[in-house]
């Protein structure tokens, strides 16, 4: 079988190296090119020594003629890059999966106000598919361009979905208290990401407005088919990988703990990457470290009118590179879990 030819644009960040880690054991792909303007010429394994002996590739300049020979191109770039190259790539028959935010927001005004730049290709937004397989699996199969969801949005949307599709909670008062490991801040050299500034400490940030807020809101509004009010507070965890989102909703009607559990289990019964924990247990981010799983639990504390969901993912896997591979698998009609059977690292 001919292997799917993969290109990766922007391979020097954490989502780039994570794509390489996952694709290394993928049975049906070959990474053909990995680009980085700043590191062109450097062997990938010199930057990421965990890849020594596995990839023989060097970073190259991002050139259209090379990329257009790929079957699929992943963008693991800052926002604003993918939108400039995508039209030509899909024109050339290449599928595009953008791990950044260029295609995540349907409303161009909202996008431009949060990202502070004009969008380069509003004309293709109509065909973009938001790559959350649990909600959009069929559309993803036929898509040419995938907006791979953000890390927080993945954990929060999967957690709220059963409640919202059933109309169980007051959509005027949704709260998502989310926490992320430091790898979510990227590989950029910033004082705020130093080990001496972040380990042994914990804080909220971005309360006044985080770019994942409009993305999450858009997703929840599609589920609810109505406008929602969402308060989203992200926090920074003193660890490398993992997102946990604790979600709060106000129940509109009486539903027992048992029925909540059943609803969650049934909603995700067929999903290979969503795992509803048994009643009376709770997920820990370490249960998904390095794997593409999302694990969650649902509670109704003291039988009151508040429902609490806690949802965990590895921000670099199900929250980024793993979900991107899952989307690729769907687009190329492969097994959905191809290359994604890693077991989480415990301890």
Number of residues near a copy of itself (by CB under 8 A):
89
* Position 227 contacts a copy of itself (CB under 8 A): no
- Catalytic choice (70, 121, 151, 294): 151
Of the candidates 111, 95, 100, 116, the one whose C-alpha atom is nearest the C-alpha of residue 149 is 100
| Window contacting a copy of itself (CB under 8 A); options: 18-26, 62-70, 110-118, 148-156 | 18-26
From 30, 229, 266, 335, residue interacting with a copy of itself (rule: CB under 8 A): 229
* Position 326 contacts a copy of itself (CB under 8 A): no
Return the number of the residue (48 or 111) whose C-beta is nearest a copy of itself.
48
* Position 190 contacts a copy of itself (CB under 8 A): yes
* Position 110 contacts a copy of itself (CB under 8 A): no
* Position 135 contacts a copy of itself (CB under 8 A): no
Of the candidates 265, 231, 268, 236, the one whose C-alpha atom is nearest the C-alpha of residue 248 is 231
Q: What sign for the dihedral angle of Cα 220, 224, 225, 226? A: negative
| Window contacting a copy of itself (CB under 8 A); options: 98-106, 141-149, 155-163, 291-299 | 291-299
**Surface-to-core class of residue 52, CB atoms within 10 Å of its CB (0-12 exposed, 13-18 middle, 19+ buried):** exposed
Q: What is the CA radius of gyration of the chain?
A: 20
Q: In this structure, are strands 243-250 and 59-60 parallel, antiparallel, or unpaired?
A: unpaired
The C-alpha atoms of residue 126 and residue 339 are separated, in whole angstroms, by 30
Interacting residues with a copy of itself between 37 and 76 (CB under 8 A): 48-54
Interacting residues with a copy of itself between 144 and 183 (CB under 8 A): 173, 175, 177, 179, 181-183
From 58, 120, 185, 224, residue interacting with a copy of itself (rule: CB under 8 A): 185
| Window contacting a copy of itself (CB under 8 A); options: 19-27, 33-41, 65-73, 86-94 | 19-27
Return the number of the residue (69 or 271) whose C-beta is nearest a copy of itself.
271
Name the token pair of 284.
Answer: 């820990």
How many Cβ atoms are within 10 Å of 22's Cβ, its own excluded? Answer: 22
Bridge partner list, 59: 34
Of the candidates 257, 259, 299, 295, the one whose C-alpha atom is nearest the C-alpha of residue 277 is 295
* Position 275 contacts a copy of itself (CB under 8 A): yes
List residues with catalytic annotation.
151
């Amino acid at each position: 079988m001919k292997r799917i030819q993969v290109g990766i644009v922007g391979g020097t960040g954490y989502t780039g190296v994570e794509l390489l880690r996952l694709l290394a054991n993928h049975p049906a792909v070959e990474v053909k090119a990995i680009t980085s303007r700043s590191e062109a010429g450097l062997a990938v394994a010199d930057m990421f020594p965990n890849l020594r002996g596995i990839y023989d590739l060097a970073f190259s300049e991002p050139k259209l003629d090379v990329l257009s020979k790929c079957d699929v191109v992943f963008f693991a770039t800052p926002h604003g890059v993918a939108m400039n190259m995508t039209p030509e790539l899909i024109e050339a028959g290449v599928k595009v999966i953008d791990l950044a935010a260029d295609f995540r927001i349907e409303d161009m005004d909202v996008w431009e106000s949060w990202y502070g730049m004009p969008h380069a290709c509003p004309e293709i937004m109509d065909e973009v598919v938001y790559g959350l397989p649990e909600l959009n699996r069929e559309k993803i199969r036929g898509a040419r361009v995938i907006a791979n969801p953000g890390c927080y949005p993945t954990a929060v949307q999967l957690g709220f979905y059963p409640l919202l599709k059933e109309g169980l909670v007051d959509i005027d008062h949704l709260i998502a208290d989310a926490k992320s490991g430091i790898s979510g801040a990227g590989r950029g050299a910033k004082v705020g990401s130093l080990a001496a500034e972040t380990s042994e400490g914990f804080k909220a940030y971005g309360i006044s407005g985080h770019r994942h807020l409009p993305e999450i809101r858009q997703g929840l509004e599609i589920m609810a088919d109505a406008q929602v009010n969402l308060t989203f507070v992200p926090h920074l965890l003193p660890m490398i990988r993992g997102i946990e989102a604790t979600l709060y909703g106000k129940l509109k009607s009486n539903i027992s703990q048992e029925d909540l559990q059943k609803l969650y289990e049934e909603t995700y019964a067929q999903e290979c990457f969503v795992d509803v924990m048994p009643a009376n247990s709770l997920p820990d981010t370490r249960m998904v470290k390095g794997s593409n799983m999302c694990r969650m639990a649902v509670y109704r504390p003291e039988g009151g009118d508040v429902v609490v969901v806690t949802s965990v993912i590895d921000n670099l896997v199900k929250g980024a590179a793993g979900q991107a591979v899952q989307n690729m698998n769907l687009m190329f009609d492969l097994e959905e879990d191809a290359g994604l059977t890693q077991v989480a690292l415990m301890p």
